Amino acid sequence: MGSLTTVGARTPGSDERKTQMLVKMKSMIVAFGCPCIYITINSAQDHSPIVLKYAGKDIDPFPFVPAKYNATERLKIALENPHAVNDYFDTMIRLMIKCLFAEGLFGKMIAYFGVKEYQGRGAPHVHMVLWMSGFLNPAELRERARTDAIFQA
């Protein structure tokens, strides 16, 4: 039975994999404290001309001419090319982590943890928690709210 669990732990979406991910996130909470930002990001691949590029269409996304590929056509191409949508999504998430979070939009990012899921129509989205330096943990926040005049105002 142990070998089945080992195989299952590598299978995305399995109970074993979910348990493994929960243990990892709990370990990160022990190491970094409570995360300070919870965010869900949807790929919006139906609207992006970049998905067409990933799907092998010869387009110039800058400037994109929507009349050449209307919304219905873009959706059809996205549905026919799930691998292109997934590659686009992974690239967009990596860029958001690097450019928006790690580089200081909310401060200095210490760590992050995310889980990618797929909606019923196959579109990926990710649920993430971020740890940023300088944010108060819940105990510190409660104490400041009780004692700090600025928080009480």
pLDDT confidence of residue 7: 58
Q: Provide block-wise average pLDDT over 10 residues at a time, the chain (153 residues).
A: 56 79 90 90 81 87 78 85 91 90 81 88 88 82 84 70
pLDDT confidence of residue 107: 80
pLDDT confidence of residue 113: 94
pLDDT confidence of residue 28: 92
pLDDT confidence of residue 71: 82
pLDDT confidence of residue 87: 93
pLDDT confidence of residue 6: 57
pLDDT confidence of residue 105: 73
Residue 113 near residue 34, CB atoms below 8 Å: no
pLDDT confidence of residue 75: 84
Domain boundaries, the chain: 18-152
